[in-house]
Structure formats: C-alpha cells, structure tokens
Structure 1
Amino acid sequence: MEFQRKKSLYNFIDEETNTSQTPIHLTIGTDYEMYEQEEHLQLSPSFPSSPNPTMLKQLLPPPSPESPWTLSPFQTPSPALLYHCIASLYRQEGTIFSIAISKNVVFTGSESSRIRTWRQQDFMECGHLKAKTGEVRAILVHGNVLFATYKDHRVRMWNFAADSDNFRCKKISSIPKRSSFPSFFKTNNHQQHRDCISCLAYYHAEGLLYTGSHDRTVKAWKISTMKCVDTFLAHEEKINALVINQEDGCVFTCSSDCSVKIWRRLYRENSHTLTMTLKFQPCSVNSIALSCSRNSWFLYSGSSDGNINFWEKEMMSCRYNHGGFLQGHRFAVLCLATAGNLIFSGSEDTTIRVWKREERDCFHECLAVLDGHRGPVRCLAACLEMENVVMGCLVYSASLDQTFKVWRVKVLVERKHCLDRMDRNDSRTKAVEYEMNPVLSPSWVQKKLQGPMHQ
C-alpha cells in the first residue's frame, strides 16, 4: 500500500509548484545586454568573442506550461532529473569570484570591496561586509566566522549572525595582523603572500587555515594565534584551488602547471610533505573537489581541455588511483562542486553539468545541462536537500556575465518507473553516449577486474 501511494517525480513537482509561492526573480536587463557590456572578459582563444543568441538557446528546452520545472535537455537524456532556475540576481560590481554557503545565508565575493549576503529562504539581499581593499578572490565559512581574501594579499576574518529579521557582522582580525610599527620594523612581512590569494581551506580538527596563492606557495595559519606555522612551495606555476580531507588532514592543491598534488602534515609538526603528484591532464588544472559516499573517496579535477579527471582512494594504501575522465564540456572547466554523489561542473562554454556517481561503482552519468548563463561560469556552490521521494540540491552559480543564479535540482531516488521511457529513447541515447559516460582508465579497469586478492 505504501508503494502504491508514492507519487511520481512529475506529480510531486507540480503539486509543490501549485501549493508553494514561487520565489522572487530579480533580473535587471537582458542576459545578452549584460554579456555585451562586459568588455574586459579574458577568454581562451577558442571561445567565441560574440556568442550567437540562436546557438546559445538551442540546448535549452521550453518550460512546461503547467510547471516552471524543466526536464533534462535531450543532449543528456535522464527522466530522473528536473531542474529550475529560481532566482537570477544581478549587480553591476564586476565579476563574482567566490561563493560560500552558511546555514541561513549565502555570501558572494566580487571585484568590488563588498561581500554581499543573501537569505536562503527568499534569496533577497540582507546585508554586506565592506573593507577598504577590494577584489574578494576567495571566501570561506566555518561556523559563524567568514574568511575572505583581499587585494592586499591578506585574509580578513568576520564574525556574523544571521536570523530571519536581520544580518549582523563584525570584523575580528586580519591575517597576518597589521603592525603598528613603521614598515622597516615590521616582523611579519615574511608571513604575507607576495601575490593574489586565490583559494582557502580550513582543517577543522587542528584549527588550521590554508591559503593558496599565485606566488606558488601554500601557507598554513594557526587561527588561535593568528600566526603562519608553515609555508611551502607547492607548484611551479600559480595555485588555482585547494581542498582538505577532514578525515586525515591531507591537503590537495592544483595549479596551472598541469598537476594535482597531495600533501600530508607531519605528525606533531607544522611542516608538510608531498605524498603524490597526479598528472593525467596536459593542460592547466583550474579546480578540484572531494566527494565521499559509503567509505569511498573520490577526487575530481577540472582542466582547461574541458575534461574532468577523477581518482578513487584505496582504503588500505590511501593511494589515489586514476579512474578516468568525464567528457561533455566544450571548453575549459573552471569550477567544481559536490553534494553527496552528485558532481557539478561549471565551464567556459557557459553551461553547468550535473553528474551522478553510482554508489557501488565509479560509473558516472551526466543527468542534465543547466544552460542559463551567457558567459563562462566562474564559481559554483551546492548544498544537499533530502525528501521522501526525491533528492534535491540548491546550486549557486556565478558567471562572467555578472549574474548570480540559484538553481533547484531534484533527482528521483527510485527510477523503476522511468526505465520504460529510457528504453524508448535508447536508440537516440547511443548517439550522444559520449556526453554521458566516463572514459575509464585502462589501468583502473585492469585493477578492478583482478579483484581485491590482487590489490
């Protein structure tokens, strides 16, 4: 009886749309006008300088007349996923470089000196944080503390409180701290980065803030003392992103030198040692992300050739074996985000792809292409939502078209009633199979076929 009362994904969405109030859309000007006004975009030579509006609209299917939700485009057929852009926000403050999610609010950092905050309930702006030095390249939230990097190569810490009525914030300190002595007496100059701080990561267990910079170094800061405890030269070129495995404290960095590196902090010491170098891509690595499910760890990296490489962690040896790469984007992958077994990739081709990894396998399927931006997708963030019949995600994206968009994605947990529909489209699906399935690494396949006895 319980199974018979379950509603289909489409009925569930239609009922939700009719009974709930549609979130407010805030859009100023058309997407094409905003894209044309952005004259200083620095794209790869392969990216068209003036996109054809007809070409950009081809992949986006018309919305359903009875529901604002959109079925996955046929280019990646999956009747198990629906998505909907619930807000499109625009501020003339230049490119948005970073997004951070807290419990009740979302933060965006851009070329301006302001970090804007948005309520998650209705996606309305509820306040901002402002510093004298602009260009916020990276932001990170831990508890009620916000870390933000600025143009002067420093990190500022803000304490904030957000409720349904208002947003309050207070600056705590800057890293490194400013000295009250003249510049030739300063003792903390050696602690400061010499170039733009491009990324942040926080290790909860030890209270360590990691900063990666275009000066090719990574610094570890002890938050309790506000001091730099270690600096190491991580790459030969600028560092684009870094992440932390919260279980073992391993630091992952990626760079324009075409490599991903894994660093381990020595026990009871502040120094770090290189444990692995992952180099399966012939071009710049722009972003990395970690994903965990059922004691399985996966590392993803997005590179300038449009591919997403992934590695699976061996639980016994803790080594990361190359599992293959995901194909689909036509230009560089600029950002990645994960939520559960879902992976989101933003690209220079203006699209966001939604990938799903099978729980007991490393098979990946591209469920949808979110096509709404009119410029390269610069940064992404995602948070998971669980319901009885569907698994949902809120996805936040920012593009060089200066728009900040909020998407709600819903994935059907049980897909039995969708199999017939997929079989009917099987012949058409094979024509675009390269856009959905990963290319598996031969060494990874051979190791899997050998089984655990030979590992």
Structure 2
Amino acid sequence: MAKRKNKGLTLLLSERSMHSGGHVRSRSCALPHFHHFDFPAGNKDDSSSPSSGNNSLTSSPSRSFNNSNGNFSGGSPNSDEFSPGGNFSVGSPYVRSPWVHHRRVRSPRDETNENLTNSRKTRNGLIGSLVREEGHVYSLAAAGELLYTGSDSKNIRVWKNSKEYAGFKSSSGLVKAIVVFGDKIFTGHQDGKIRIWKFLGDEKKAYKRHGSLPTTKDYFKTAINPKAYVEVRPKKNVPWLKHYDAVSCMSLDEERGLLYSGSWDKTLKVWRLSDSKCVESIMAHDDAINAVAVGFDGLVFTGSADGTVKAWRREMTGPSGPTTKHVLVDVLLKQDNAVTSLAVNARALTVYGGSSDGLVNFWELEKGVMVFGGVLRGHKLAVLCLAAAGNLVLSGSADKSICVWRRDDGGVHTCVSVLTGHSGPVKCLAVEEDHGGDGDYSYDDDQPLKKGDRRWRVYSGSLDKSVKIWRVPEHAPDY
C-alpha cells in the first residue's frame, strides 16, 4: 500500500485547489452515492492489519463465480444521488471539498442486476470474481493466459481462465509488487527483498524459487567492502545495493532488460536482468517511493510520499560496455499530498499520477518537454492505483470504486464509466486486451466489436480480499 506522508491522516479530499491556472483538458466524473469509509491510519501500509489464520497454500478454499455484487455503470444521472454533494449533510467534510464547486457532468448510470444474470452473454461490465479468503490483495500482474495475485498472506496465487492454476509462497514479507518477464516472476516484498521465481512448465504447473535481487554472492561481496556502505539514518549504514525497507513498486523495461524497483527507503534501484546486477542506486526522494513507471523517450517516472513526481532520463555510458545512468530532468509535481500511483500511455506520450487527495494529474510530452495537461476529478478518497490501456486510463480508489477515463484526440479526458462492486479500497489494477471466446466469459457471436474498437479485461484487487474481473470497451457501450 502506498505510504502516506503523515501518520493518522484520514484520506478525505484536501480542501486545497490544484493547478488553479493553466489550460486544463479534463472533465469531472460525478460518482454515485456511497457510504463514508475511514481509511485505516497509523502504519506504512495504510491498510488494516493482516488477518490471522493459517497462511499455507492449502489453508483456505478458493472460489470463482460470476456476477458478484457489483455493477457496471453507463449513461447520465437523472437524480441528485449522482451529484457529488448529494445526500451529504452540510457539516460533512465532503461538502467542503473542491468537488462541490464543479459543474455536474455526464456520469454513468447503474445497470440493474437483471442485466448481469448470465455472465456468458454479458458483453461489458462485471463478469466474475476470484476470492481466496486469506488476506488483502496488494498486487496483480496479467501475462498471457495467467493472472498473478499477491496478498499479505505472503502467497502468490496463479489463475488461469478464472480458476486457480498454481501457487507459491515466500518465506516472509507480504507481496507488494509483481512483474513477469518471460518464464520468470519478480516479486517485491514488505521485508525489502525482491524474489525471483521460475515457471517449470504447463506439465508440472509449478514454480521454483530461482534467486533474489541482489544475489547472495553480490551482497556478501559488497558487504565486506566498507566503502560500499551508505548512511540511511543516524548511526545506521547499509550496503548500497540492497533495499532496507519495503519494496513498494517495480517496473520493467523489456527492450533494455532493466528492472526498476522503488522502496520506502527513498531509493530507486536499477537491475540488469541478464546477470541480476544492481547497476545503479539513486536516492530519488525525500520520503518513501510509492510508484515507478518506465515511460517513453528514455524517461522513467517516480512518485513519492513527499508529494513529488520526478522524471529521470536514462543515459547509456561506458567505453567497456553499456552502463546505465539516470539523471533528474524535471520535477513534474510538488504538493503536500502524497503521490500514490503512476501509469504511462506510451502511445500518447502521457504520464498519469494519482495522489492521496483523490486527484489524477497528467502530463504530456510536447517538443521534448513534459507539459502539464490537466486534472481528472472522479474520486472522493485517495487514488491508490492506476492502469493505462489503449485510449483508456483507469483509477482505483479508497472509495471502493474504479473510474474509467477515455482520452480523445487533443488530450481531452472523459469519464465513460464507474465500476463499483468492491466492499473495500481498490489497491491494484491490471489490464489486458480481451479477445473474447475464452473460458466462462465468452460472449455472443451476434455482438461483434465495431470496426476499430477494442475491448479490455480489467482485474481489480481490493482490501476486501477479492479480485474482480471486468470487461470494458474502449468506446461507450451500447445498451
């Protein structure tokens, strides 16, 4: 979970307005009324404490089912219940938030449960849920036919066609980030370790521990060198190549074979996957790093609890071989509220940053310079996760909802739908293109996609211990 800057802070919207000047190319998204949710405070995870119980891989039954208690919304509101100020007392902190001062715009309507009675024929919306009652879901990764889920039970579950396929368990540290690269899976943990797992093939349907970052050899080689230590706080020195606090985020540069890891220890580390070497460690922020995203044009973006989003440019140097060096080229955002999440639309040269005030800021590359594009206002509580696919960007929040935004030509963003159904904060998102016709979630042949349209399968992990599966079209659905 993203670390917040101040302990005990409730994740209600900040009253401060953002980016009062400048051209803002975005639209607000009014949300349906829902009950107030006090996001837990007082710890780095911003989550409730891990649930007790047996954490073994066979400790609790898994369930996958269709048409969970949720809905997919589309259309325009016809009553005040869709207004940001609807059904709230005058004394509510929400009434004093920036939302109530914005013009009410198009917001999706609720779809009745009758439209979700047969998931095999449901074209768009909630199509199923995966439940394994063993802990909050903190991380997701979709790769081909497989979905990987990580939780505070230390287990990594593997799902195929919405059924449990395999699983493996780490010795310690809840799973905060998952990255898949070929037949290897990298998991970032609360204990500061990055573990590597290898898939043994469909025949065995098993995974084997393949090592860790840094390797044991490299760690001990560095540990015996006094010059390899850095001071992380008064009277505490640690080897530079190892994270000493939670690994909160990871991002992969497949083209160059580099893995980036961000940590609550404020450092950004760069790993060369060909030999598992840490090639660079950067003290990138003044507080915990909550998000890292490989971008475009040689840029890498980081977001932190210190309220900043930074852009780093990758440079390849070294006469004896390629050596990676990153230099800070821009600070895109500097605010009081913690930055919790990042997502990149490489085709549109756009980066999005979610924060604890419920806003999503975005920037676009214009003539080699990152330019502020606008703010997406759609959540009542903190934005905890972001994902981009095609012309869509999705934001998951502590308010238990997911806003789906579509970017049109010219950078104008419209909230085309709001996905509701989780009973807890939405902590993580994963997206892959949905071609239909697979498993339990195929749809009718008489409902083909329009020419040029695309449909996405969205996975959302929540602190309600479930993963929900949604089918989302890139353009507005027909009803």
TM (norm. structure 1) is 0.70
1:90–1:404 CA contact under 8 A, matched in 2: yes
- Per-residue CA distance 1:77-107 (angstroms, 9 max, x = gap): 469x974222222223222111001111000
Does 1:396 find its partner at 2:459? yes
- Per-residue CA distance 1:2-57 (angstroms, 9 max, x = gap): xxxxxxxxxxxxxxxxxxxxxxxxxxxxxxxxxxxxxxxx9852569xxxxx9638
Provide the rounded CA distance (Å) in 2 between the counterparts of 1:181 and 1:373: 42
Provide the rounded CA distance (Å) in 2 between the counterparts of 1:44 and 1:118: 36
1:208–1:221 CA contact under 8 A, matched in 2: yes
Once the two structures are TM-superposed, the CA of residue 335 in structure 1 deviates from its matched residue by: 0.4
Once the two structures are TM-superposed, the CA of residue 250 in structure 1 deviates from its matched residue by: 1.6
Structure possessing the higher relative contact order (Cα contacts under 8 Å, 6 or more residues apart): 2
Identify the residue that residue 29 of structure 1 maps to in structure 2: none
1:127–1:167 CA contact under 8 A, matched in 2: yes
Does 1:276 find its partner at 2:330? yes
Identify the residue that residue 376 of structure 1 maps to in structure 2: 425
Distance 1:383 1:238, change over 3 A: same
Distance 1:366 1:186, change over 3 A: same
TM (norm. structure 2) is 0.67
**What SS class does the counterpart of residue 56 from structure 1 fall into?**
coil
Identify the residue that residue 87 of structure 2 maps to in structure 1: none
**What SS class does the counterpart of residue 45 from structure 1 fall into?**
coil
- Per-residue CA distance 1:224-258 (angstroms, 9 max, x = gap): 2222111111000000000112x533210000111
From 378, 394, 397, the equivalent of 1:344 is 394
Moved more, 266-275 or 94-103: 266-275
Identify the residue that residue 207 of structure 2 maps to in structure 1: 169
Identify the residue that residue 74 of structure 2 maps to in structure 1: 72
Identify the residue that residue 201 of structure 1 maps to in structure 2: 251
Report the residue type matching 2:387 in the other structure.
A
Distance 1:205 1:180, change over 3 A: closer
Identify the residue that residue 323 of structure 1 maps to in structure 2: 373
Greater share of residues in helix: 1
Identify the residue that residue 90 of structure 1 maps to in structure 2: 131
- Per-residue CA distance 1:334-388 (angstroms, 9 max, x = gap): 1000110001000111110010000x21111101111101111111111123663
**Structure 2 counterparts to residues 291-302 of structure 1, below 5 A:** 291-293=345-347, 296-302=348-354
Provide the rounded CA distance (Å) in 1 between the counterparts of 2:186 and 2:400: 28
**What SS class does the counterpart of residue 401 from structure 1 fall into?**
coil
**Structure 2 counterparts to residues 251-270 of structure 1, below 5 A:** 251-268=300-317, 269-270=323-324
1:306–1:332 CA contact under 8 A, matched in 2: yes
Moved more, 182-191 or 363-372: 182-191
**What SS class does the counterpart of residue 273 from structure 1 fall into?**
strand
Does 1:405 find its partner at 2:468? yes
Report the residue type matching 2:74 in the other structure.
S
Provide the rounded CA distance (Å) in 1 between the counterparts of 2:406 and 2:223: 55
1:71–1:83 CA contact under 8 A, matched in 2: no
From 122, 128, 142, the equivalent of 1:101 is 142
From 268, 282, 289, the equivalent of 1:218 is 268
1:340–1:384 CA contact under 8 A, matched in 2: no
**What SS class does the counterpart of residue 170 from structure 1 fall into?**
strand
Identify the residue that residue 149 of structure 1 maps to in structure 2: 188
Identify the residue that residue 344 of structure 2 maps to in structure 1: 290
Provide the rounded CA distance (Å) in 2 between the counterparts of 1:347 and 1:69: 16
Identify the residue that residue 443 of structure 1 maps to in structure 2: none
Report the residue type matching 1:207 in the other structure.
G
- Per-residue CA distance 1:194-245 (angstroms, 9 max, x = gap): 1111111122232221111101011111122222111111000000000112
Identity across matched positions, percent = 37
Provide the rounded CA distance (Å) in 2 between the counterparts of 1:248 and 1:180: 31
Provide the rounded CA distance (Å) in 2 between the counterparts of 1:277 and 1:180: 33
From 31, 45, 48, the equivalent of 2:10 is 45
Identify the residue that residue 178 of structure 1 maps to in structure 2: 216
Report the residue type matching 1:410 in the other structure.
P
**Which consecutive residues of structure 2, in runs of 5 or more, have no partner in the other structure?**
1-6, 14-31, 37-66, 83-105, 112-122, 229-238, 318-322, 436-447
Once the two structures are TM-superposed, the CA of residue 184 in structure 1 deviates from its matched residue by: 11
Q: CA RMSD in A?
A: 3.1
Provide the rounded CA distance (Å) in 2 between the counterparts of 1:184 and 1:271: 20
Once the two structures are TM-superposed, the CA of residue 170 in structure 1 deviates from its matched residue by: 2.4
Identify the residue that residue 56 of structure 1 maps to in structure 2: 34
**What SS class does the counterpart of residue 167 from structure 1 fall into?**
coil
Once the two structures are TM-superposed, the CA of residue 180 in structure 1 deviates from its matched residue by: 11
Once the two structures are TM-superposed, the CA of residue 112 in structure 1 deviates from its matched residue by: 1.5
Report the residue type matching 2:310 in the other structure.
K
2:309–2:331 CA contact under 8 A, matched in 1: yes
Number of residue equivalences: 352
Provide the rounded CA distance (Å) in 2 between the counterparts of 1:43 and 1:363: 36
Does 1:124 find its partner at 2:163? yes
